[in-house]
Amino acid sequence: MAKAILSADDVRAIADLARLEISEDDVARYQRQLSDILDYFQKLEELDTSHIDPTSSVLPLTNVMRADEAGAALTVAEAIANAPDSDGEQFRVRAVLDS
C-alpha cells in the first residue's frame, strides 16, 4: 500500500474550496494530517466486507417528527417582534450582493 501524500498545492486547493485562509505553517500541518487521514481510509478499503449486507444505518428508522398541521398565522407585529432590525412592517437585512 502506497502512502497517500497530498501536495501543498492540494491543501491550498482544498482550503480554497472550503473558503479558508490558511498560513504556510498551516499548509504544512494540514498536508501531514490530511495525508494521514487518506492513509487510514486506504487501510479501511482493505477490509473484506463482502459478507456484510449494505445498510445506511444500523439503527431502526422511525419518524420522530410531529404531524404537519396548519396553525394560526402570525400577525405582522408578531413576525417582526424579535427581528434584530426592522423598517415598519419589513425586516431590514444587510445587502447581500454588491451594487
Q: What is the pLDDT of residues 11-43, one digit of tens each?
A: 999 999 999 999 999 999 999 999 999 999 988
Is residue 52 a part of any domain in this protein? no
- CA dist., res. 74 & res. 88, Å (int): 16
- Cell numbers 425586516 correspond to 91
Look at residue 3 and tell me if it is in a domain: no
pLDDT of 92 above 70: yes
CA–CA separation, 45 and 3 (whole Å): 14
Residue 20 maps to a domain: yes
- Give the containing element (helix H, strand E) for 39: helix 24-45
- The tens digit of pLDDT for each residue in 76-85 reads 999 999 899 9
Question: Is 51 part of any domain?
Answer: no
The total number of structural domains in the chain stands at 1
On whether the pTM is more than 0.85, the answer is: no
Q: What range does the domain containing 41 cover?
A: 8-45
d(CA 30, CA 6): 9
Backbone angles phi, psi at 14, to 5 degrees: -65, -45
Q: Is residue 62 part of a domain?
A: no
Q: Is residue 30 part of a domain?
A: yes
Q: What is the mean pLDDT of residues 44-68?
A: 84
pLDDT at 75: 92
- Assess if residue 2 is contained within a domain: no
DSSP 8-state class, residue 81: T
How confident is residue 61, by pLDDT bands cut at 50, 70 and 90?
confident
Beta bridge partners of 87: 90
Contact, 91 vs 80, CB < 8 A?
Answer: yes
Identify whether 79 is part of a domain: no
